[in-house]
Chains A and B, each alone.
Chain A
Amino acid sequence: MSALPATPVAESGRERILEVNDLQVQFPTADGLVNAVNGLTYSLDMGRTLAIVGESGSGKSVSSMAVMGLHDPRRTRISGSIVLDGTELVGASQETIRQLRSSTAAMIFQDPQSSFHPFKKIGDQIAEAYLVHHKVSKKVAMTRTVEMLDRVGIPNPDRRAKQYPHEFSGGMRQRAMIALGLINDPRLLIADEPTTALDVTVQAQILDLLNDLQREFGSAIVLITHDLAVVAEVADDVMVMYGGRAVEHGTAHEVLANPRHPYTWGLLGSVPKLSASGGNLRTIRGLPPSLINLPSGCSFHPRCDFSDRVPGGLCSKELPGLEVRAGDTTRRSRCHLADPAGIFDAEIASTLE
């Protein structure tokens, strides 16, 4: 595992808001120990957007929740280091973490339907977050809430604040969620699939909104998504995760245009194309790995079409490191293949067009 200070984008001058080092998250269950995140290292500067992509079970949500300290400490084992705005979170008291939530780091959840309390008014729920961190009257908090609802583009914010979640449409709820995320001007915003449940036009509006807000507040954003189109649109950096590990991490351009890992190829290949008339979608064969018994060596090898090109069965024996490979400058990847760029150019690129 690389212990290097790991920032693929060495852009000095910006303040570093988040630094995750060798993060491990495990859940003991009756069936065995679930290794959800296995040695994840990355960092994020203010004003930048990092997209984390990967299949279900790849550890992207789990690692982000760890940043918010949202795992039940009684049933989770976390090791490594998470430094948020200069505060070490691993091993910190619940009170310390609580203070940082929403004020320093806020999270937008993927399902606004279930993420709002069904019995409470939207306005009250948002104002509550403001009241925790500000010693103001309820009235002030409500004014602020209405202001935020207006900011995220909810019409009639006054009236809307007094409504219950079930009276909101999906898009409106998502906007309210964002308003909740931003109410305390957080320095880091983690958005977990913020657009999954929405139709395309609303999606675009929400993404624009996030972009605008980032520009305005200068916050850093972690965007968790499986939607590569979204990634292309908003992300500065992209981290691809598989089996609880990062397998490729670089700028959006690097990762999307010239991916260096067979798993990234698979992801890109499974994106439906408007041009392809009824052609079969390509999917990644096999199923995501069991997090209880991770495959030996490279976790991806059982599903990898290229592992036979690595001599000596190395793929199943040894875990490749996340390193800057020959020909790259900043992007790091985790693969035994000697010449992934060559393979991509020769065999993969054409299929993605």
Chain B
Amino acid sequence: MLVYILRRVLLGLSVLLAAIVATFCIFFLGPSDPAGALCGRQCTPDRIVQIEKDLGLNKPKTEQFVTYTKGLVAGNDLGGKKCDAPCLGWSYVQNRPVTDMVKQAFPVTVSIVIGGIVVYSTLGILFGMIAARFRGKPLDRVIVGVSQFVTSIPYFVLAQLFFLYAMVYYGLIPRAKYTSILDNPFTWFTGLLGIWLFYGTVLSANYVRYVRASMIDVQNQDYIRTARSKGLGERKIAISHALRAGIAPFLTLLGLAVAAELGGAIFTERIFGLQGMGNLALTSFDTSDLPVIAGVVVVGAVIIVSLNLLVDLLYGLVDPRVKLS
């Protein structure tokens, strides 16, 4: 198991490093004018030169990359602007370390995503199992039909309508609000609950059919037949034999889907007005604040890689066979 974990961690690290290189290449080697953006309104050519010097933009790209990577590990001092590790660079527009901005946005996005994962995993597995159990019956048809329907409507339209009708016009669900879990776990929970329920429910529609197919597939497995031939009751078979096997592929899917969830969080943050990483990226996109976008992408990659790692480890717990591979 230890070897397995080590291997996974190493793989994750190598992937992360590559993600950093790729991000750097895309965002810093591309044509852009960071100094011009940072220069502001009383801009003179001298000032641009000075800013470029401050930010090290006049140096060769390879050196810039080394500086960037070094900043991630050990921090940087950009022309008197102190940028502590992990330094993701300096925001041209906001005149702040990117790390500060990401630090602010990070817990918001992670809260949304994690809460969403809990809700949609629960609902997805629950409804998927129910549908599989009542395969071909009206209940199954209703569940599958509704999930088909929900997944077909663009998420952002649903979110807008939900926000306006459920939260604004009729006030059925309290307006979303983020408070740090460290400040007040209770308001953190109540503030995000509405979003989790909505986001999780909509997303679960994607997984209901998957879990259902997976459970049906499991039902057809030889070992379920064996369990039945032992004289085990159906409930016991469903919970102790089928569920465990049916969840394994779902876990894999979960790992794959984290990237997509981060995307979903962008729409969620935007529409529900939460200042997470997606909103941060969009704002920075609008002001061409490339270091911020790059920072968000790098941190996004970290989230994906670590959640993937977590899923892999969980998978290792569920399926004893992976320890060998």
Q: Which residues of A come within 8 Å of B, CB atoms?
A: 68, 70, 74, 94, 98-103, 106-107, 109, 111, 114-120, 125, 128-129, 132-133, 164, 166, 180
Distance from B230 Cβ to chain A, minimum over Cβ atoms (Å): 4
Complex formed: what's the CA distance from A58 to B229 in Å?
Answer: 22
A211 to chain B, nearest CB (A): 22
> Do the beta carbons of A166 and B229 come within 8 Å of each other?
no
Most A-side CB within 10 Å, residue of B225, B226, B228, B319: B226
Considering the complex, give the chain A residue whose CB is closest to the CB of B136.
Answer: A74
The answer for the CA separation of A118 and B315 in the assembled complex, in Å, is 13
**In whole Å, how far is B179's beta carbon from the nearest beta carbon of chain A?**
40
B231 & A98 in contact (Cβ 8 Å cutoff): yes
Residues of B in contact with A (beta carbons under 8 Å apart):
135-136, 221-223, 225-234, 241, 244-245, 248, 318-321, 324
* Contact indicator A102/B229 (Cβ below 8 Å): yes
The CA of A166 and the CA of B136, in the complex, are separated in Å by 34
With a cutoff of 8 Å between Cβ atoms, the chain A residues found around residue B227 in the complex are 117, 128
Residues of chain B lying within 8 A (CB to CB) of residue A68: 229
What B residues does A119 contact at CB under 8 A?
Answer: 244-245, 248, 318-320
Residue of A70, A118, A129 near B245 (CB, 8 A) is A118
In the assembled complex, which residues on chain A have CB atoms less than 8 Å from the CB atom of B248? 119
Chain B contacts of A74 at CB under 8 A?
Answer: 135-136
Complex alpha-carbon distance, A158 and B188, angstroms = 51
Give Cα A115–Cα B324 distance, bound, in whole angstroms: 20
Among B229, B232, B320, the most chain A Cβ lie within 10 Å of the Cβ of B229
How near does chain A come to B67, taking the closest CB pair, in angstroms?
Answer: 49
Residues of B within 8 A of A114 (CB): 221-223
Asked if B319 and A118 make an inter-chain contact with CB atoms under 8 angstroms apart, the answer reads yes
Secondary structure call for the B interface = helix
Q: How many A-B residue pairs have CB under 8 A?
A: 71
Cα–Cα distance between A103 and B229 once the two chains are bound (Å)? 10
Which 4 pairs across A and B sit closest by C-beta, in order of nearness? Answer: A129-B230, A101-B231, A114-B222, A117-B223
**Residue in A102, A109, A111 whose CB lies within 8 Å of B231:** A102
Give B217 Cβ to nearest chain A Cβ, in Å: 12
A117 engages B245 (CB within 8 Å): yes
A94/B234 in contact, CB under 8 A: yes
| Closest beta carbon of chain A to B28's beta carbon, Å | 47
Give Cα A85 to B304, complex, Å: 59
* Across-interface contacts of A180 in B (CB, < 8 A): 226, 230
Q: Is the CB of B232 within 8 A of A132?
A: yes
Q: Would you give the shortest CB distance from B163 to chain A, in whole angstroms?
A: 42
Contact B222–A111 (Cβ < 8 Å): yes
Q: How far is the CB of B248 from chain A (nearest CB, A)?
A: 8
